[in-house]
Amino acid sequence: MKRSFGSIKWKLVLVYAVLVVCVIFISGIYIIGNIQRNLYQSRYQELKYTAGRISDTLELAYTSSEQDLAEVFADVVTSLLTEGGNEEGLLMYLLDPSGELLYSRSGEIQPADLASRTVLGAVAGAESTELYVHQITEDGTERTVGDYAVPVKRGDSIWYILLLRQSVSDIEETMQNNTVIIVMASLLAIAVSALLAYFLAAGIARPIERLTHRTQEMATGNLEIADEEFSSSGSSDEIQELESNFNHMAQELNRILSEISSEKNKLETIFHHMADGLVVYDVDGYVVQCNPAALELMGKGVETERFGEAFPNEHFATLLYSPEGTIAERMLELDDHYVRAEFAAYGNEDGASEGLIVVLQDVTEQRRAEQMQREFVANVSHELRTPITTVKSYVETILDGNVREEEMLVAFLNVINKESDRMTSLIGELLELSRIDNRQVQLRMEEVDLTDLLTDCVRRYRILAQKKEQTMEMLPAGPSLLVECDRSRIEQVLRNILMNAVNYSPEGAHITAWSSLDAERQEGILHIKDTGMGIPYKEQKRIFERFYRIDKARSRSSGGTGLGLAIAKEMMEMHHGRIELDSIPGKGSTFHLIFPLSIREEIDEEEENESMDSDLDS
């Protein structure tokens, strides 16, 4: 209630009370004035009537001019009073035509009274038209009296003047009583009307106070409306309607604001979690917003740098004022990755530019894949062209008839045959890779003892090693490694690794194979070790890439295609296993084929998931 007396309620009460006071005051003065005038008027009429009676009686009594007018007057007055006239407190004076006192029935009269405007008017021949009320001092006390004077004529001239005076204290008393009554009534009326005004103003001010309270709440951000605020008013005047409209407006505002805030939250979540980087610049090139992806792509500095520092090769003004809807695209090469940047200006409703949005996309992987694809196509073309060129030149030589000796011809045909075999195996391996890529390889799972399988393969390819004066042996006492796998595919992998060990090891080298069990990780491992040339450290990861070969000529001369280890890696991954390499350049290499012992379960699980996915898709 800190500003209660300045509030609209108290202002209304004040205005209402002042109005009532004014009305009562004015009407009180009017009523009192009117009553007083009427009382004086009736007193005037009484005096006039008495004067008429006196003058009429005097006329009759004064029969001879020898009579003393003053004496006759005294008799007349006395007789009239004894007749029981009602002239109590009435003073009567007889004046001559010049206004001099001839006779006074009630003692002295002040000289000033004989010069009053009533007497002077009568001397001039005019009767009083109203009561002349004035103060006199009698025996030291003041009292108010009313005078009436009339000139009585005989012929054209004034015979005598009659001055009547009567006290008006009774009228004054009546007036005082009336005034007290009116003041009391006024006070009562003011109190009642102030009370009424208070309730009326309170009725008007209450909803306004509620509205004020609501606006204050809204200013602090609280837009919630309690149910009772809606049902607070039973009446339906304009202010209540305003209040209810206001509440509806606040509720609507609340709804719109919460919608905007949820949209904003959604956008912020997208902004923070989107994979693409986003940097927003203002019209002066300062960062307004920047998401985590942009920081990762461009470095932390981008947040504080101006546009020109972050993108030194771009012209800010040109991008900012480019026509609406224009998106400029650039490829940025940043340290070890490629980023595609799109620049688009954003503006306000009038179309004026307000800043620049930069969308950043990491395309390093895409670039690498494109590069690999290009290299792959170049490799395939190259690998096919070499044997075809050889075959073609040998065939042309034969067709030219230059090869006459049979021995030579057989040698030529052997070369053609070998090259054709190489092409066939190359195409076969390419088809195999393509099937793997397209997930068209069907594994024929069976229970296989990996130790037995490795022993078999070593026995089979030992002859090839022996041809190069190498030894190839299987270490005994390997554990039995029973796993579910596709025997022919694993055989293919083992063949490739054993053949590589033979091919890339010099004469007299030792190739050793063994199996082991990692009980802790539940893995069965096949190891193939050679004492060959080894693989340079920086190339050890790359030998599993397609067509990657350390010594192309050597690989080719041994019938290699550069795809064997790539296929082996894919095959191991299809069996949920992996292939690892330890190699010391110049000393030899050891390949480890690692199989999880629960392959079957993992593959079953995978197949189940795939069939569920395809069911869902269909």
Contact set with ligand ADP (CB under 6 A): 496, 500-501, 504, 530, 532-533, 535, 543, 549-551, 555, 560-566, 589
Q: Which residue is nearest to ligand ADP (CB)?
A: 560
In whole angstroms, how close is the CB of 326 to ligand ADP at the nearest point?
49
SS (H, E, C) 376-427: HHHHHHHHHHHHHHHHHHHHHHHHCCCCCCHHHHHHHHHHHHHHHHHHHHHH
In whole angstroms, how close is the CB of 370 to ligand ADP at the nearest point?
23
CA distance 567 to 433: 6
In whole angstroms, how close is the CB of 362 to ligand ADP at the nearest point?
30
CA distance 371 to 506: 35
In whole angstroms, how close is the CB of 527 to ligand ADP at the nearest point?
12
In whole angstroms, how close is the CB of 560 to ligand ADP at the nearest point?
3
Three-point CA angle 483, 486, 491, nearest 5°: 95
In whole angstroms, how close is the CB of 378 to ligand ADP at the nearest point?
17
CA distance 232 to 227: 9
In whole angstroms, how close is the CB of 460 to ligand ADP at the nearest point?
18
Q: Are 416 and 393 in contact (CB under 8 A)?
A: no
Using CB atoms within 10 Å of the CB of residue 48, give its burial: 0 to 12 exposed, 13 to 18 middle, 19+ buried. middle
Identity of the residue, 37 or 541, whose beta carbon is nearer to ligand ADP in the bound complex: 541
In whole angstroms, how close is the CB of 542 to ligand ADP at the nearest point?
9
In whole angstroms, how close is the CB of 499 to ligand ADP at the nearest point?
7
Question: 3-state class of 351 per DSSP?
Answer: coil
Question: 3-state class of 438 per DSSP?
Answer: coil
Identity of the residue, 229 or 570, whose beta carbon is nearer to ligand ADP in the bound complex: 570
Identity of the residue, 39 or 535, whose beta carbon is nearer to ligand ADP in the bound complex: 535
Identity of the residue, 90 or 426, whose beta carbon is nearer to ligand ADP in the bound complex: 426
**Residues contacting residue 259 through CB under 8 Å, at least 6 positions apart:** none
CA-closest candidate to residue 576, choices 521, 515, 516? 521
Using CB atoms within 10 Å of the CB of residue 496, give its burial: 0 to 12 exposed, 13 to 18 middle, 19+ buried. buried
What would the two tokens of residue 59 be? 């006329």
State residue 344 phi and psi, 5-degree precision.
-140, 135
Identity of the residue, 455 or 561, whose beta carbon is nearer to ligand ADP in the bound complex: 561
Cα-based distances in Å from 477 to 327, 451, 495, 514, 556: 69, 10, 22, 9, 37
In whole angstroms, how close is the CB of 316 to ligand ADP at the nearest point?
51
Give just the sign of the alpha carbon dihedral 253, 254, 257, 259. Answer: negative
Question: 3-state class of 148 per DSSP?
Answer: strand
State residue 293 phi and psi, 5-degree precision.
-60, -40
Identity of the residue, 562 or 577, whose beta carbon is nearer to ligand ADP in the bound complex: 562
Q: What is the DSSP letter of 290?
A: E
Identity of the residue, 103 or 504, whose beta carbon is nearer to ligand ADP in the bound complex: 504
Identity of the residue, 160 or 548, whose beta carbon is nearer to ligand ADP in the bound complex: 548
Identity of the residue, 128 or 470, whose beta carbon is nearer to ligand ADP in the bound complex: 470
Identity of the residue, 450 or 567, whose beta carbon is nearer to ligand ADP in the bound complex: 567
Identity of the residue, 130 or 551, whose beta carbon is nearer to ligand ADP in the bound complex: 551
In whole angstroms, how close is the CB of 372 to ligand ADP at the nearest point?
16
CA-closest candidate to residue 97, choices 75, 78, 114? 114
